[in-house]
Amino acid sequence: MRTLKKLFKISMFLLLFLTIIVISVYGYSKLSPKLEIEKANNIIFYDNDNNIFLQGNGGTEWVSLDEISDNLINATISTEDKNFYKHFGFDIPRITKALYTNIKARRTVQGASTITQQYVKNLFLDFDKTWKRKWNEMWLTLNMEAHYSKDEILEGYLNTIYYGHGMYGIESAAKFYLGKSAKDLDVAEAALLVAIPKSPNKYSPLTNFEKTKQRQKMILEGMYKNHYIDQEECERASEEAITIIGKKEENDLTSVMYYKDAVLDELETINSVPTSFLETGGLKIYTNLDQQAQKALENSIAKNIDDESLQAAGVMMNPNDGSIIALIGGNNYDQTQYNRATKSKRQVGSTMKPFLYYTALENGFTASTSFTSEETTFVFSNGETYSPRNAGEIYGNEAISLAAAISYSDNIYAVKTHMFLGEESLVNMASRLGITTKLEAVPSLPLGTYEINMMEMIGAYATFANLGHKIDPHLISRVEDMDGNVLYEWEDQTELILNESLVYILNDLLTTTYDASFIDYSQPTLLSIASKLSRKYSIKSGSTATDSWTIGYNPDLITSIWIGYDDSHSLENKLSVKSKNIWANATETYLKGTEEKWYQKPSNVVGVLVNPITGKPITQNEEKKRILYYLKGTEPTGEEVVFDEIYDNKRIEEKE
């Protein structure tokens, strides 16, 4: 209780301090240039077929305040900001009450944003929770209050707020949902529409009518409490039957807002587009969005994630030019706008191993190169030890091929390879492939203990998917002003950085992860989705205690999926399969009906029928067999030395 009182006193001091700052900034705002709110956020977003999928102010059906029903205006003010006409952008008493309530509950249970603040967020700000953003919000809010009347602010707010299903502005929403103009809304209809913006996905009357009605009733009770309607009107409106005429379109993608946010982030990095673009006459942004890909990704995540606290993110990309055709940064944009696909870094687990194994192929390894899969403790010169473990403590206790090590995602084999090549080799390869995260040369690096962003990972994997060319992932293809003048156009710049023949071999090795011919003392890590795959892919999964990844590709498409909790608490083992299922569902759905493609074998690569577990040429009575690929002249003879012996000799030589 004493701690609570102390926190409350500190909060009150900070609130007083903030009030003084706000008043001072408000005075300064009066002397500052006026925000051009009628032009702000006038952006039109096009997909890869040049169809509009989102637009800002320029696409709304703007109506003046006197053309909007008083019922809608009253319901909005009562619900969102009952002191709207009394404050100067910040409702200090409401902030005080919210602070007290949240401190008492020890969590955020009540907000205090005003209509002006919400309008500013809609027009000018992203959703980063940083102090810089908070300062910008305060400055822009006070500037708006200083230069515009309350009616002008309210009119702008009602004409730009998002009502779901692609509807921005009250006039568009009223016509879409109810088939009438905003000026003709009765109390019940007004309260129903005001229910939507809090969470357009959750309170859509098309998909969650009962939840929308529950919130409508709460809004009507608030209007009664705030003296906008009497009790009889409240009860009558609650019971009024409302017919919804809108329909959910097939391309109605709530997740596309994550894509939009990523586009705006990328736009800020383009020097040829003015940094003040939000305050200019508007922009047309042509993106790489494929709405069918976005739909496949969104539906797959929704199908597999039923825990609201468990988050998922995904990216689909054309590996040949780096165009991002679909992107989702979380389960539900209405609940969390944080874009995990572009902003977060998470442990990548065994999805790091293909970087290691390409390095190994460059250094003379083949698909048959073998190490012994057994419990191993590495002892270093300083006396420290490292004892990696295989998943489930499953070991072959025998020599296994590189192909089998990839299929089982054998950690012992990976660390032995890492130590044999030298720990700097993997760091250098990751950098070469475009990983910008700073990595240290440590024994556990191939097991994915470092946190890396999804865009970095998909860019690196794309180099394998396109047979060795480094590309830059991007969402924007072209930017124009409203008169059609081209301000920016993507220029495809690729660079060959890997050996095509070795990449071909690696890509085939990554098909072992779901190949039943590898079932032995262990089984392939992606065998559970083998029945869902209609064509050939290179795939690698990776799991740590807190993260689960699946990244896979063919010549036309690369898909990356991550699941985990934002607070990084442990994933149950059964949850790791969800990233694999999301990957399979999304990829297969998108590619359904398209031509099946695979890579053409280079002339200097040969296929050899071998025992896939040992990597040795098959004998007459061999049951297990699979074609693996080799550079000409490196085909297995059956006499190869197990690399543990070479590794042990190498360590002895180093000691001497």
| Long-range contacts of 179-183, Cβ-Cβ distance < 8 Å, separation of 24 or more | 179/245, 181/63, 181/67, 182/63, 182/67, 182/68, 182/69, 182/72, 182/158, 183/63, 183/67, 183/68, 183/69
- The CATH number given to whatever domain includes residue 488 is 3.40.710.10
Query: Could you tell me the strand order of the sheet in which 558-565 lies?
Result: 324-328, 310-317, 558-565, 547-553, 538-543
Answer yes or no: is 583 within a domain. yes
pLDDT at 299: 94
Instruction: Give the domain-ending residue among 197, 230, 255.
Output: 255
Partners of 565 in the β-ladder = 310
- Nearest in space to 559 (alpha carbons), one of 366, 351, 402, 367: 351
Partners of 623 in the β-ladder = none
Confidence of residue 655 (pLDDT cuts 50, 70, 90): very low
Confidence of residue 199 (pLDDT cuts 50, 70, 90): confident
- The predicted-structure confidence for 330-350, as pLDDT tens digits, reads as follows 988 877 889 999 999 999 999
Rounded mean pLDDT of 429-439? 97
Answer yes or no: is 269 within a domain. no
Taking the whole predicted model, whether its pTM rises above 0.85 is answered as no
Element (H, E) at 346: strand 345-347
pLDDT at 134: 58
Tell me which of 122-131, 288-297, 402-411 is least confident. Answer: 122-131
Please say whether the beta carbons of 141 and 55 come within 8 A.
no
What stretches of 159-225 adopt beta strand conformation (E)? none
Which residues, 6+ apart, have CB-to-CB distance to 492 below 8 Å?
Answer: 321, 322
Given a cut of 60, whether residue 98 has pLDDT beyond it is no
pLDDT at 651: 45
Given a cut of 60, whether residue 593 has pLDDT beyond it is yes
User: Are 209 and 311 in the same domain?
Assistant: no
Given a cut of 50, whether residue 127 has pLDDT beyond it is no
C-alpha distances in Å from residue 514, one per residue of 87, 186, 493, 540: 63, 59, 34, 10
User: Are 562 and 426 in the same domain?
Assistant: yes
DSSP-derived 3-state class of residue 55: strand
Domain that holds residue 250: 2-255
Answer yes or no: is 517 within a domain. yes
What stretches of 398-546 adopt beta strand conformation (E)? 398-401, 451-453, 469-470, 476-481, 486-489, 495-496, 538-543
Answer yes or no: is 265 within a domain. no
User: Are 226 and 364 in the same domain?
Assistant: no
Distance CA 249, CA 429 (A): 45
Given a cut of 90, whether residue 101 has pLDDT beyond it is no
Other beta carbons less than 10 A from residue 2's beta carbon: 6
Confidence of residue 2 (pLDDT cuts 50, 70, 90): low
Alpha-carbon dihedral of residues 91, 97, 98, 100, nearest 10 degrees?
140
pLDDT at 129: 45
DSSP label of 202? T
Q: Are strands 283-287 and 310-317 parallel, antiparallel or unpaired?
A: unpaired
Q: One of 69, 350, 370, 373 is an active-site residue; which one?
A: 350
pLDDT at 656: 39
Given a cut of 70, whether residue 124 has pLDDT beyond it is no
Confidence of residue 29 (pLDDT cuts 50, 70, 90): low
Tell me what the pLDDT averaged over the chain comes to. 87
User: Are 346 and 211 in the same domain?
Assistant: no
pLDDT at 200: 86
- The CATH number given to whatever domain includes residue 37 is 1.10.3810.10
pLDDT at 167: 80
Q: Are strands 43-46 and 52-55 parallel, antiparallel or unpaired?
A: antiparallel
- The predicted-structure confidence for 377-401, as pLDDT tens digits, reads as follows 988 878 789 999 999 999 999 999 9
Q: Which of 139-143, 248-252, 632-636 has the highest mean pLDDT?
A: 632-636
User: Are 424 and 571 in the same domain?
Assistant: yes
Rounded mean pLDDT of 542-557? 97
User: Are 554 and 636 in the same domain?
Assistant: yes
Given a cut of 90, whether residue 443 has pLDDT beyond it is yes
Rounded mean pLDDT of 173-200? 94
Active site residue 491: no
Tell me which of 174-178, 279-283, 285-289 is least confident. Answer: 279-283
Number of domains, the chain: 2
Q: One of 29, 69, 78, 80 is an active-site residue; which one?
A: 80
Distance CA 561, CA 346 (A): 12
Q: Which residue has the higher pLDDT, 606 or 248?
A: 606
Active site residue 152: no
Other beta carbons less than 10 A from residue 83's beta carbon: 13
Partners of 80 in the β-ladder = none
Rounded mean pLDDT of 58-76? 86
- The predicted-structure confidence for 35-60, as pLDDT tens digits, reads as follows 556 555 578 899 999 998 887 654 45
Answer yes or no: is 271 within a domain. no
DSSP-derived 3-state class of residue 371: strand
- The predicted-structure confidence for 504-531, as pLDDT tens digits, reads as follows 999 999 999 999 999 999 999 999 999 9
